[in-house]
Amino acid sequence: MGLSQEDSTARWQHLDHIRKTKGPFNPPDDEDEEAPEMLDTLGKSTILVIGAGGLGCEILKNLALSGFKNIHVIDMDTIDISNLNRQFLFRKADVGKSKAECAAAFVERRVQGVKITPHNCRIQDFDEDFYMQFQMVVCGLDSIEARRWMNATLVNMVDDDNPDSLKPMIDGGTEGFKGQTRVVFPTMTPCIECQLDLYAPRAAVPLCTLATIPRQPEHCIEWAHIIAWDQEKPFPSLDKDDPEHITWLYQKALSRAEEFKISGVTYSLTQGVVKNIIPAIASTNAIIAASCCNEALKIATTAAPALGFEDNYMSYHGDEAIYTNTFKYEKKEDCAVCGSLSKPLEVDPRWTLQELIDSLATNASAQLKKPSVRTESKTLYMRFPQSLEEQTRPNLDKTLREGLGLVEKQEIAVTDPAFPALSFKFFLRFT
Ligand SMILES: [Zn+2]
């Protein structure tokens, strides 16, 4: 059952007024020919949405209802029953199916004239040629690694001689009652990597705390997860999606918590800690997705100033009453993606190379899990190929200053398979 032509015109009447009427914020037109179609860039632009989860469902619905006609969506996940409370484009019958495909089909059914192309795969499965077809990218992701990859790809794609190679990236993120919206004009304004230290990895709890003096319910759960599971091996391998496995961990954690008189261990907390789940609140997703889509609409139509060159970061705090602020995040000259300088890396000269490598995972401005390291003249440790790994493995036990002869301010380059296009440059600062 579709809308008649008249209904459809009426539906877009007010939006068309914004889209097709030149306003004070539209750029001056050299030829002074303000044909309405010239301003109707929405209908012609192709926009990419990354993620069809909590934020993605909202973003797809909002973009379609804002008049974007040609949308693509990438998501590799399938629908889980636990998604249904907030990912409103999915129904019980969709459990097990592709998020991208179901979300695209639902919005196409409801909003006449919109074409949504789903891609049930990883963003890393596409190359720059694929990303080149879009005018803009809107990210609704819960993974920092995916954001970093997308950001690095968009920055690398910029070709100064081709203005179409610059793809604005609008990024939304939420965590419980908090959220943020940012807009990146790759190479021109601070990128996601410039802002990486805002996402400091959660400090790891020392193993000795887990083993001897737990203080919080999370410590008891981590103890069950890391220590008890290993000792007792109740199942051949841990499947974090298997309720039986989570129940085993929950009961272990609960008895440990009782022993140390700690309260607060629940089944859902166990699941959250083990799966590292960020709590999702549907209304926070709605707020952040709405602000992302308004920025997309303004960038596409130039109807009003958008986040970007001046203020580029909106942060929303709903955890203590309600507070929103918008500010200009500065570009970093030592950003691994868009900067040219190397970053300082604080290390103890008595550390082994292994300790330096371990520190890169928790260092807020690196967050690299599988790094390979070299200096300008020497390969210190390479994970691939295997022959090089074997050859460089003995270096892992050598100390930085005595064993490897590294000096203060030594430049090192670090690569990681998660970001194949990047080389992270650091210089050592001895502590
Ligand atoms: Zn940057």
* Residue 294 CB neighbour total at 10 angstroms: 18
Length of the chain: 431
Instruction: Give residue-wise pLDDT tens across range 351-368.
Output: 999 999 999 988 888 889
Cα(96) to ligand 1 centroid in Å equals 37
Tell whether 192 is covered by a domain.
Answer: yes
The pLDDT of 147-172, averaged and rounded, is: 95
Q: What is the pLDDT of residue 147?
A: 94
Q: Is the pLDDT of residue 34 over 70?
A: no
Cα(343) to ligand 1 centroid in Å equals 12
Tell whether 337 is covered by a domain.
Answer: no
Instruction: Give residue-wise pLDDT tens across range 285-323.
Output: 999 999 999 999 999 888 889 999 999 999 999 988 999
Tokens standing for 349?
């000269």
Q: What is the pLDDT of residue 183?
A: 98
Q: What is the pLDDT of residue 263?
A: 93
Cα(312) to ligand 1 centroid in Å equals 13
Instruction: Give residue-wise pLDDT tens across range 252-266.
Output: 999 999 999 999 999
Domain stop point among 258, 274, 290:
274
Residue 371: which domain range? Answer: 343-430
Highest mean pLDDT among 13-27, 66-80, 194-208: 66-80
Tell whether 32 is covered by a domain.
Answer: no
Cα(303) to ligand 1 centroid in Å equals 28
Cα separation, 392 vs 10, in Å, equals 69
Cα(268) to ligand 1 centroid in Å equals 37
Tell whether 12 is covered by a domain.
Answer: no
Q: Are residues 259 and 315 in the same domain?
A: no
- Domain count of the fold of the chain: 3
Cα separation, 140 vs 256, in Å, equals 38
Q: What is the pLDDT of residue 154?
A: 96
Cα(38) to ligand 1 centroid in Å equals 33
Tell whether 193 is covered by a domain.
Answer: yes
Tell whether 21 is covered by a domain.
Answer: no
CATH of the domain at 233: 1.10.10.520
The pLDDT of 259-287, averaged and rounded, is: 89
Cα separation, 285 vs 177, in Å, equals 9
Tell whether 259 is covered by a domain.
Answer: yes
* Beta pairing, strands 169-175 & 136-140: parallel
Cα(120) to ligand 1 centroid in Å equals 29
CATH of the domain at 120: 3.40.50.720
Closest CA to 145 of 116, 123, 177: 123
Confidence label for 203 from pLDDT (cuts 50, 70 and 90): low
Q: Is the pLDDT of residue 89 over 80?
A: yes
Cα(52) to ligand 1 centroid in Å equals 26
Higher pLDDT, 104 or 274: 104
Q: Are residues 267 and 284 in the same domain?
A: no
Q: Are residues 256 and 318 in the same domain?
A: no
Cα(191) to ligand 1 centroid in Å equals 4
Q: Are residues 173 and 103 in the same domain?
A: yes
Q: Is the pLDDT of residue 247 over 90?
A: yes
The pLDDT of 272-284, averaged and rounded, is: 84
Cβ distance 164 to 128 under 8 Å? no
Cβ distance 424 to 415 under 8 Å? yes
The pLDDT of 226-252, averaged and rounded, is: 92
The pLDDT of 76-82, averaged and rounded, is: 92
Instruction: Give residue-wise pLDDT tens across range 375-420.
Output: 999 999 999 999 999 999 999 999 999 999 999 999 999 999 999 8
Domain stop point among 234, 258, 274:
274
Q: Are residues 53 and 168 in the same domain?
A: yes
Q: What is the pLDDT of residue 204?
A: 64
Q: Are residues 299 and 361 in the same domain?
A: no
The pLDDT of 83-110, averaged and rounded, is: 96
Q: Are residues 220 and 358 in the same domain?
A: no
The pLDDT of 89-108, averaged and rounded, is: 97
Higher pLDDT, 197 or 168: 168
Helix axes 99-110, 54-65, angle to 10 degrees: 30
Q: What is the pLDDT of residue 291?
A: 98
Q: Is the pLDDT of residue 237 over 50?
A: yes
Confidence label for 142 from pLDDT (cuts 50, 70 and 90): confident
Cα(300) to ligand 1 centroid in Å equals 23
Q: Is the pLDDT of residue 1 over 50?
A: no
Cα(184) to ligand 1 centroid in Å equals 9
Q: Are residues 295 and 255 in the same domain?
A: no
* Residue 324 CB neighbour total at 10 angstroms: 14
Q: What is the pLDDT of residue 197?
A: 83
Q: Which residues are catalytic?
A: 208
The pLDDT of 247-253, averaged and rounded, is: 96
Q: Are residues 313 and 352 in the same domain?
A: no
What spatial distance separates the first Cα and last Cα of the chain, rounded to whole Å?
70
Cα separation, 249 vs 257, in Å, equals 12
pTM: 0.81
Q: Are residues 104 and 244 in the same domain?
A: no
Cα(419) to ligand 1 centroid in Å equals 14
Cα separation, 67 vs 114, in Å, equals 8
Give CA angle at 163 (162, 168), nearest 5°.
130
Cα(186) to ligand 1 centroid in Å equals 8
Cα(272) to ligand 1 centroid in Å equals 31
Q: Are residues 118 and 75 in the same domain?
A: yes
Q: Is the pLDDT of residue 279 over 50?
A: yes
Q: What is the mean pLDDT of the chain?
A: 90
Q: Are residues 306 and 171 in the same domain?
A: yes
Instruction: Give residue-wise pLDDT tens across range 125-137.
Output: 999 999 999 999 9
Tell whether 235 is covered by a domain.
Answer: yes
Task: Count how many Cα atoms sit within 13 Å of the Cα of residue 418 in the half-sphere of its side chain.
Answer: 18
